[in-house]
Amino acid sequence: MEFTHLDEEGRARMVDVSSKPVTARRAVAEGKVVMDPRVLELLKEGEISKGDVLAVAKIAGVMAAKRTAEIVPLCHPLSLSEVDVSFSLRDGGIVEIRSTVKANERTGVEMEALVAVSAAALTIYDMCKAASRRITITGIRLLEKEGGRSGRFIASEGIKGEVVAVNLSEKRGVPKSNVGSGYLKEGWGLEGDAHAGEWERQISLFPVEAMALVPEEVRKEMREGEYSENLTIQGIPLEELRVGRRLRIGEAVVEILQVGKGKLEPRGRAWIVSREGRFGRVLKGGKVKVGDEVELLG
């Protein structure tokens, strides 16, 4: 899709792409459907009354991508060579959707990829809403695109955030306190914290953006210490904080090995940390303090 322009009378129109060369185009988009974990279990077990949710959602995504020009008024109709829609099921009631669209065309296929994800997400909502209407569609975005004059785009490049709290507790089971600064020891974790050690969850991160997923009635009852991990960070999209990602935090480098604790706490107090906390290991030691830059390395 090309951006539309206004004509001399201020009316929107499609961009004329007839003079542009035909090149290989590719776009990848993603999104999430967040639901009660019990509803996701029904989906996994094939007990949603409308049928096989993911199979129907996949077909919906493919069909929608092919008809994008009929849905988004100023898109060019394109001949697509491939549309793929896939799903990943995550603890905490999350269905991750990813679409990949390819074509040999004069204009890009970003909108087709985004429409595929949107249609798949709406289909999941429709098929699961009888079990619960507390379902959220979120994080629909372009991940990558290739081809055309603008070349390659990767959403994760150049993303930076910051540290807003450095928290530790000297004993397990005790809420962490913000100490402002600390030292991340390679292969160990935050020095002085009871959870540090030679295991897979040496360091814990909590992204402030996850609070948007907490129902308002629950959020009002939560105190800061109830959702703190070793490092509270902001500015990095949740979608980028996935397993395998490496982050430079102050002088240190951390790798994410786990998202969520696997077993969810009761909804309330530590529920959001159970689902959205990031856990990993310290690859490179160094000092870290409030205000330090957090950079996504890959």
Record the tokens describing residue 137, joined without a space. Answer: 């569609």
Question: What is the dihedral sign for C-alpha 101, 106, 110, 114?
Answer: negative
Residue 165's beta-bridge partner residues? 232
Tokens of 135: 């379902």
Q: Which residues pair with 252 in a beta bridge?
A: 249
* 177-210: burial string, b at 16+ Cβ within 10 Å, e else: eebeebbbbeebbbeebebbeeeebbbbbbbebb
Set 7, 16, 126, 292: catalytic member: 126
CA distance 298 to 126: 35
List C-alpha distances in Å: 253 to 195, 219, 261.
Answer: 18, 31, 21
Query: Counting beta carbons within 10 angstroms of the beta carbon of residue 221, is it exposed (0 to 12), middle (13 to 18) or buried (19 or more)?
Result: exposed
- Pull the structure tokens for residue 38: 């019990």
Has 126 been annotated as catalytic?
yes
Which two three-digit tokens encode residue 126? 């429709």
How long is the chain?
Answer: 298
Strand partners, 23: 105
- At residue 33, φ and ψ (nearest 5 deg) are -115, 120
Enumerate the active-site residues. 126
